Structure 1
Amino acid sequence: MGLYRHSGRVPVAGLLWCILLLTPLALIGGAAYSAAMVFLPFIKLKWLISLLFASAVGFVVGKVCETAKIRNRGFVILATVATMGLAYYVSWGVQRFWLVVGELGLEGAIDNVGLADLLPLSLAAWVTWLFENGLWSMRGGADTIKGWPLVVLWGIEAATLFITSWMLALGTYGFRPFCEACERWTTLDVGIAELPVDADDPAWAEVRDGRLEALRHLKINPAEDRHVRIDLATCPECETGDHVLISGIVYAVDKEGNLTANETPIIEYLHMTRDKTNELREFAAEMNEAVALMRADDEELHEDATDE
């Protein structure tokens, strides 16, 4: 038994899959993002588009890496930075084209703007012109933003794009175990049991060492604002890829009055034999039945107290 760790493998076929899919998506996405930033009139809409675009890039990269069977989170980060970097570069390179489209129409833009604008020297000249002259303002034409204040806005935009896409990519990719023997991702069975216990119970240390019998030593905590959830990741094709994920769930009310669930991993994908997995499923079924009976008794006591 031991905690799961990705093998770090990046299959050649998976690498090619990522390049062939993410490169054209970055080119098209960067051009579309640039058009949206040029033609949208409101600053709030521009920032919203930045967030949506970054989220879309992160989601796509995470899904593509998962589909390509990449078992290396560092590669996922690198693929996200490369994809967003290419898209961001293209968005700058075609910005002048969209501006000319707004002034002279599509035919005028095609006649006056060429692929040379995508070259680094041309792009540097365009950025320098924007730095010195600015392009847009915060108040309908007055006080055009240029110079270092404009650089600050560019920095905020870039940080928004790269950080958001990075977070979404890793969140989408996840950390589900991969069965190396069968060359496939495991199937996650979420919530086979929800235990009314605390996440900091000392018995979890024994469970982490592979002694599942320690689960029966957990102390019951009937508080309704917290519980522990048990998930199972299993390989449908063999008996060697089973892992258990145990998380503490605490509910809280945010400033807006909404109920939120804060999830903290207690044991993050402990490898188990199929016999141990079956043992855990039996324990989960027993605990679910016991919890249901306990809650039924609590409701009955509450109803009796109300009647009196």
Structure 2
Amino acid sequence: MRDYIRWAVSRFHQEQLFFGHGTDNAWDEARQLVLGALHLPFAIADSYLDCRLEDDEHAMLRDLLRQRIEQRVPTAYLLGEAWFCNLPFIVDERVLVPRSPIAELIDQHFAPWLADEPARILDLCTGSGCIGIACAYEFPEAEVVLADLSFDALEVANQNIERHELGERVYTVQGDGFAELPGQRFDLIVSNPPYVDAEDFADMPAEYQHEPEMGLACGEDGLDLVRRMLAEAADHLNERGVLIVEVGNSQVHVEALYPEVDFTWLEFERGGHGVFLLPAKLCREHQALFKQRLNG
């Protein structure tokens, strides 16, 4: 195993792979791929790295490393699994690879932003379901709705609900934004929607081409869906509810479009940016403005 990891690191550097789907360097990427493929923990004792491999394991590793290097397939897709909030999730090319900085907020119980324990949580644009399912672990009494436009994504989310045995209080809803949630209100709405603007999408590394485009790109400024979410959020938040949305590099577009709105831009110790928070009160106060600017 040690030889495969060393060889992979060299080749990853030589081929200038991009790391951004769970790791940020060649060593961690190689270790994750080799050990993950062999169903071994990332933190395995160093002595195990000298264990000999079976012939079929050699063949499997060579094939996976070839796909990672030649086809630029993200490691999570090659393994069929990604970790988020220290929880394993099934992933494939129907959903984005989990990597949102919102994980840090979940780990912190969304402190100090939530006034009370949320009874109902909405993970809008859920993809694999990782954010909502992680929230279900953090708030064991809450009902959690995982909503997405993509049937394919929700198939993966349902697999993850089953994997984590949360079917009694976590369920999926297929629809465009809030369209299939009429009259429903939540204490926490959290979303990692598509937000990549046209310029950034055109410049993304090859690894991102394996992810579903509808989970990444969303119009010229990346805010086609975010504008609609802001216009409708007040109708779906309880009185003391909170809206949290990741917009990444499109933060500049949000600030330019709504200079009157006092967004709280959250900071992260573990890296990440472009996540705003709006309490229900501000969603209501600015709803007319949000609706007015629906078309940019």
TM-score range, shorter chain: under 0.3
Structure number with greater Rg is: 1
TM-score (norm 2): 0.24
- Greater length-normalized contact order (CA 8 Å, ≥ 6 residues apart): 1
Normalized per residue, the structure richer in helix is 1
